[in-house]
Amino acid sequence: MAVVAQLSPSSYTETTRLSSSQLSLSSTHLSSLRRRAFRPIIGPRNPTISCSVNQVQAPVAVERDDPKSKTNDCYGVFCLTYDLKAEEETKSWKKMVNIAVSGAAGMIANHLLFKLAAGEVLGPDQPIALKLLGSERSLQALEGVAMELEDSLFPLLREVKIGINPYELFEDAEWALLIGAKPRGPGMERAGLLDINGQIFAEQGKALNAVASRNVKVIVVGNPCNTNIPAKNFHALTRLDENRAKCQLALKAGVFYDKVSNMTIWGNHSTTQVPDFLNARINGLPVKEVIKDHKWLEEGFTETIQKRGGLLIKKWGRSSAASTSVSIVDAMKSLVTPTPEGDWFSSGVYTNGNPYGIAEDIVFSMPCRSKGDGDYELVKDVIFDDYLRKRIAKTEQELLAEKKCVAHLTGEGIAFCDLPEDTMLPGEM
């Protein structure tokens, strides 16, 4: 579920802005806009770039010593200036929301960004700015992403900024979708992968802590890191596993998947994850009352969900980028939309204060509810049996072991990696 995104101290950054007023501009105005290619600006100081419909100042090459100093540039229609507050007087636009996305040149982001820009997540009256973080290797691809976003004429997309410096891209971010991580390579031990990705997310966590909004909501497709931002604002994505579980239960019961509710994925995003059929419901009834084949639930169903990603890679020849992007959208919607009465959703969140007896201070997928304000609460009215508790204990031990593997990155001492077994999802090799 991860894509390659290696951080670099370079401060190459591009900024693009899209105006709401562009929608009423004539073709004559647009044709007078001089287009130019993205290019890095290198130097010790920041040249001023003036962007308008009729004038685009050419970049000036200078030397730069400070890797965190800023340079800004714009492209095409994103150079247009506008007064959002003035438009708010005539349209019911909301205040613009800043969304940062790492791994933005990857396949998952390629599906996700256009859903965000189209208003599928935050609504048809919510303007957004996209801050796209990539690597030196992916800069040209990011330029292509910006061009496609430009050509799509999304009225809600007011700004696009691309670059490889998280301290610039994460500034004032209200959502951070950390998709960029390194996949497991041939011969790589899982402990090594945890260390590499831990370093990536630790650096991104520092940047978020330094420049993002204090209320930023962070969804991580990988291993999250601690910062001074409230731990409750971090989510590790297990929504794709939940969606897969709902699909399989619906197929077995012969119903459409919207009849399946209260589906929980417990624990880690690995083959120890626990798809909870005990608390799930079909048409409001407990799953075990609808599906009488309990052996299938304990063995076939559980194993299918645990290994679904690997099977997809085998069939499709690539990872589940499209469905992963859909699950990110679903995860965001669950936080900005009130949870239906009696239902819940799955998210990997910090266990501090959990009512289930799970060890504190780890990120663990659990059942959550939201009032639609971006926050959540853990569900208390769940039931357990010996089967469920045993499976939860196994995934808990794995996560505790993984935490020790990255202790040197979280400031908790010397790393000691003694994973109980290799439970990397099939296909991630």
**How many residues comprise the chain?**
429
The residue whose two tokens read 């204090």 is: 214
Place of tokens 């690997």: 310
DSSP-assigned states of every residue in 344-396: -EEEEEE-TT-TT-PPSSSEEEEEEE--SSS--EE-------HHHHHHHHHHH
408 is catalytic: no
Distances (CA, A) of 169 to 42, 186, 420: 18, 32, 38
Laid out side by side, the sheet with 285-286 consists of 260-261, 281-282, 285-286
Rg (CA), the chain: 23
Output the CA–CA distances (angstroms, integers) from residue 327 to 253, 334, 394, in the order listed: 23, 10, 25
In this structure, the number of other CB atoms found within 10 A of the CB of residue 141 comes to 16
> For 417, phi and psi rounded to 5 degrees?
-110, 110
Spatial separation of the C-alpha atoms in residues 344 and 365, rounded to whole Å: 12
CA distance 428 to 84: 44
- Among the listed residues 29, 269, 294, 408, the single catalytic one is 269
Residues with catalytic annotation?
Answer: 269
